[in-house]
Amino acid sequence: MSALAALFVLSSAIPAASSQASSASAKQVFGAFLACKADIFSLLGSDRADFGAAVIGPYDWSISDGVTGQTIAFAAPVDVGGLPLTGYVQFEAVGIAVPHFAWGFEVERRVSDVAKAIEGMLPGARFVAQDGGALELKLDAQSVPQGDASVAPEDSYRKIVVHQANSPLRSLVMCDASKDRMAELAIDEETGRRRLPAAEDLFPSVRRPAVKTNHILDAFVACKPSFFEVLKAERRIFPRVRIEPWESPDNAPHIPEAENTYNETVTFEHPVEIGGLRIVRFLQRKTVQSGEPTRFAWAFQVAQTPDGVARAISAQYGVRFTDYWSLVDKDVGATPVSQHLTLRSYFDPDEQATVTCAPDEAETRDFRLPEGAETFGWAPLGPPPVSRGNRLINALLQCRLDFFEALGEERNAFGKVAFKEAAGPYRRDGDAARAPMRVAFEKPVYASGFMLTGYIQRRVNVAGEMKLRWGFQSPLNMSRIESTAEGRTGSVRVAGKGWLLDLETDETGYTPSPDLEFDEGFLGCTTPLASGMEPPKSGDLFLK
């Protein structure tokens, strides 16, 4: 594959939101780069190449099995002579007629503008148009190959190629050289071939001046339990909140050795700007095993993409992330950012990010995770959480009549309910029978691992006997609802035998009622209705 063909698949660097000032060191580095010689890499690996590297990822090699490389996105554009550099790309092509190396920068300018600027930096240089809209500048074309007999003299080359990147407004300016021109590169011990330096060795993370960027963000990125002291002390900067505790649907509380996870979500009334991050939620989690907490994690949900979050953190702390959003190994311990900090993509509904701290057990020994209300104070937004979720759900799973009493006690948690006289689906149209009365909750309600969105009850005729079907609506499918019920009770439902206790929970679990039923988006009971007996009215259950 030719160098020109390879340029078609160079992955673009992450677009940055702001511009750094031009620096003499950046100009010197770029000037040395234009010579297209191997000694540039020692310069790129020095503190003089402080270009604010943010994310290191793999080069898109899908066009050829013989092409491998890396991309490095900068936290913000680096200006060199009017050319904003937004990232770096390098690759090596082997297993082809003329093995070669390519390395260079993505520039936030058109191809013609980049070529014109470089011609101004290299007196007498003139780019020549090539196929596909690329421009090429050959360097020392008359030189003799440097001692590599495997490359014929006519195949030896060193050149600069400027090609369009992922849009007409972005270009890639690449040095491209046949392998004989790169004799100074180190030899890989495994392959026996010369190789480009690892991306982690280029554009090193540089310690920023010891200036506090933001008190809360400084404490957060350190991923230490002391963060909660700072968060509580600074809670005045946060708007009003809604706090929702919820358990993992995979919890198995009747198995002491099982790991059970308990979460809290704190939603802010409006986004909060902290250190360049637009934070919309705070989340925290603890894992309990044999009655003792074993692991903790806490996170901010940010109304920015993971790319944007990585750039913001990199710009402030000089740290680099991998393409899967954890710290580059060589930066661990070199910056204030903890190795336990990770980024993840989160859709709500557009792409956002969660920035999570999950320290190891040694760092959280004897730590007690404060409840959301302890940290943020009283939560005035939205309905309050269910106060006795286990009582409510246990009564439902056993189809006990005290369920209706428990439901009435929790009516505040369901918020401003809406009574749907028209029939509504349990989960999707056609999933279940139509219900003549459906109570829709103001917001999803979490109780004992279940997400509940409404209440349904209706009379049904079962083999000539009138019965009442009652229970909760859920956005989950039937298999997910049933598996959560099994975990909550320590039981399993066996075909032809009904509910049986799991051996591990023989003394602590319980079997659900044989009247318990599951459907797509429904968890509830079908129980006998005595002659002349009226079922409880939905209005009486949910209206104050």
pLDDT in tens, 40-95: 999 999 888 888 899 999 887 445 566 888 999 999 999 998 999 999 999 998 76
Q: Which residues, in sequence order, are CB contacts of 465 under 8 Å at separation 6+?
A: 528
> How many of the other CB atoms lie within 10 Å of CB of 292?
7
C-alpha 401/C-alpha 322 separation (Å) is 55
- Give the residue-averaged pLDDT of 15-42: 74
Question: Is the domain of 250 the same as that of 364?
Answer: yes
Residue with tokens 């429904």: 522
End-to-end CA distance of the chain: 74
Do 394 and 333 belong to one domain?
no
The answer as to whether 6 is a domain residue is: no
* 442 and 362 within one domain: no
Domain shared by 193 and 245, yes or no: no
What pLDDT score does 462 carry? 83
Cβ–Cβ under 8 Å, residues 10 and 172: yes
Task: Say if residue 113's pLDDT is above 70.
Answer: yes
Range of the domain at 233: 215-376
Tell me which of 323, 352, 376 is where a domain ends.
Answer: 376
Q: Which residue has the higher pLDDT, 431 or 243?
A: 243
Q: Is the pLDDT of residue 432 over 90?
A: no
Predicted confidence at residue 337, as pLDDT, reads 94
Q: Tell whether 235 is covered by a domain.
A: yes
Higher pLDDT: 155 or 170? It is: 170
Q: Give yes or no: residues 227 and 191 share one domain.
A: no
Say what the pLDDT of residue 335 is.
87
How confident is the model at residue 26, as a pLDDT?
Answer: 87
Beta strands in 126-258 (DSSP E): 128-129, 135-138, 158-164, 171-178, 241-247
User: Does 383 reside within a domain?
Assistant: no
Last residue of a domain, one of 316, 351, 376: 376
Separation in Å, CA 140 to CA 2, 180, 182, 451, 528 = 19, 13, 14, 69, 93
User: Is there a single domain that holds both residue 123 and residue 268?
Assistant: no
165 and 119 co-located in one domain: yes
Q: What angle, rounded to 10 degrees, do the helices at 478-489 and 389-397 form?
A: 110
pLDDT value for 348: 76
Tell me the β-bridge partners of 471. Answer: 456, 524
What digits encode the pLDDT tens for the residues 504-538? 777 788 889 999 999 888 999 998 876 555 667 76
Domain shared by 438 and 322, yes or no? no
**Whether 111 and 235 share a structural domain:** no
DSSP calls for 7-41: HTTPPPPPPPSS-PPP-HHHHHHHHHHTT--TTHH
Is there a single domain that holds both residue 363 and residue 412?
A: no
- pLDDT tens figures, 450-481: 999 999 888 888 888 888 889 999 998 999 99
Q: Is residue 542 a part of any domain in this protein?
A: no
pLDDT tens digit sequence for 448-458: 999 999 998 88
> Two tokens at 170?
């972005």
Determine, yes or no, domain membership for 147. no
pLDDT at position 542 is 79
Residue 10 lies in a domain: no
The predicted pLDDT at position 465 comes to 83
Q: Is residue 133 part of a domain?
A: yes
For residue 299, count other CB atoms closer than 10 A to its CB: 23
Q: Do 31 and 174 reside in the same domain of the chain? A: yes
Domain for residue 535, yes or no? no
